[in-house]
Amino acid sequence: MSNRYTVFGQPIAHSKSPSIHSMFGELTGRSINYTRTESTPTHFAQTLDEWQQAGGKGCNVTLPFKETAAQLCDHLDQSAKDAQAVNTIHFQDGKRYGYNTDGSGLLRDLTSNHNFTITNKRILLLGAGGAARGTLGPLIAQAPHSINIANRTVDKAMALAASFPGTLCDLLATGYSDINDEDQFDLVINATSLSLQKALPPLPTNLFAAGALSYDMMYGTEDTVFMIWSRQHHAEQVCDGLGMLIEQAADAFEIWEGVRPNTETVYTYIKSELS
């Protein structure tokens, strides 16, 4: 019998996760069945219960349920504790084990797919929402030179920085207007939801150091305004978040099935499907 998985979200019809995981199943020779489940903030806990009772082996969780999912798990691994949010649940012996693979997915995309070394680099992390929170721990673990978290709501950036005390790299929380014309970064990550609105955070234009990589967590049928802006202002490498999506899915698949699929062919297929 196939192992059953689903992704919970609202909305969820757009999710590429069923296609990605079906391909992972084929590539690894695992028999899996992966569906989409729409829920609501009021009903999420109940829908999750029903899925578990019906014999689901695990699930992914996306907006807007990641924080609630963390509260509904029996055990959280360090990634989920740091993120205070869960995107992957594994059901075992009636218990719920929660993980957050967004950070490891971003890291693997940057380091393996784009050959970018994070150690000793100056990072600008734009945004302080769930995606920024999920990626901060794994970024810090790579020992960058510094991370400047910049957010519209500065208090949220400060709270995020404060939740990683004793960090070895310089960790700074600011607003956008605090970034000076002289400040330069090797890695700029857009973890805001601004690209969805085809808008940009207000940033100085000489932000990118020589060899810098600009990463927008958003992905879609075409380049985002942030990617276009980054190219105009001389970022050497410019990437969208599709690689992160696929790598975080591969990490989830490994948690459930014990084998990590090769992501290259899946990336190529989903990229062509999008365009």
Q: What are the residues binding ligand NDP (CB under 6 A)?
A: 63, 102, 127-132, 151-153, 156, 191-196, 201, 217-219, 241, 244-245, 248
Q: Looking at beta carbons only, is 22 or 129 nearer to ligand NDP?
A: 129
Q: Looking at beta carbons only, is 2 or 40 nearer to ligand NDP?
A: 40
Place of tokens 């990605």: 20
Q: How far is the CB of 54 from ligand NDP (least distance, A)?
A: 27
Contact 216, 196 (CB under 8 A): no
Contact 195, 216 (CB under 8 A): yes
Place of tokens 């955070």: 201
Q: How far is CA 199 from CA 116, 179, 194, 224, in A?
A: 26, 18, 5, 9
Is there a catalytic annotation at residue 16? no
Alpha-carbon dihedral sign for residues 239, 245, 251, 254: negative
Q: Rounded to an integer, what distance in angstroms lies between the CA atom of residue 189 and that of residue 230?
A: 11
**Tell me, what DSSP letter sits at residue 171?**
E
Q: Which residue is nearest to ligand NDP (CB)?
A: 129
Three-state SS letters, 68-125? HHHHCCCEECHHHHHHCCCCEEEEECCEEEEECCHHHHHHHHHHHHCCCCCCCCEEEE
Q: Looking at beta carbons only, is 80 or 209 nearer to ligand NDP?
A: 80
Q: Strands 122-126 and 146-150, how do they pair? A: parallel
Angle between helix 130-141 and helix 154-162 axes, rounded to 10 deg: 40
Q: How far is the CB of 17 from ligand NDP (least distance, A)?
A: 10
Alpha-carbon dihedral sign for residues 82, 87, 89, 90: negative
Catalytic residue among 16, 57, 66, 156: 66
Q: Looking at beta carbons only, is 223 or 234 nearer to ligand NDP?
A: 223
Q: How far is the CB of 176 from ligand NDP (least distance, A)?
A: 8
Bridge partners of 174, per DSSP, are: 150
Q: Looking at beta carbons only, is 191 or 238 nearer to ligand NDP?
A: 191
Q: Rounded to an integer, what distance in angstroms lies between the CA atom of residue 228 and that of residue 218?
A: 13
Q: How far is the CB of 253 from ligand NDP (least distance, A)?
A: 14
Q: How far is the CB of 179 from ligand NDP (least distance, A)?
A: 13
Q: How far is the CB of 98 from ligand NDP (least distance, A)?
A: 16
Q: Looking at beta carbons only, is 31 or 221 nearer to ligand NDP?
A: 221
Neighbour-count burial of 14, counting CB atoms closer than 10 A to its CB (0-12 exposed, 13-18 middle, 19+ buried): exposed
Catalytic residues: 66
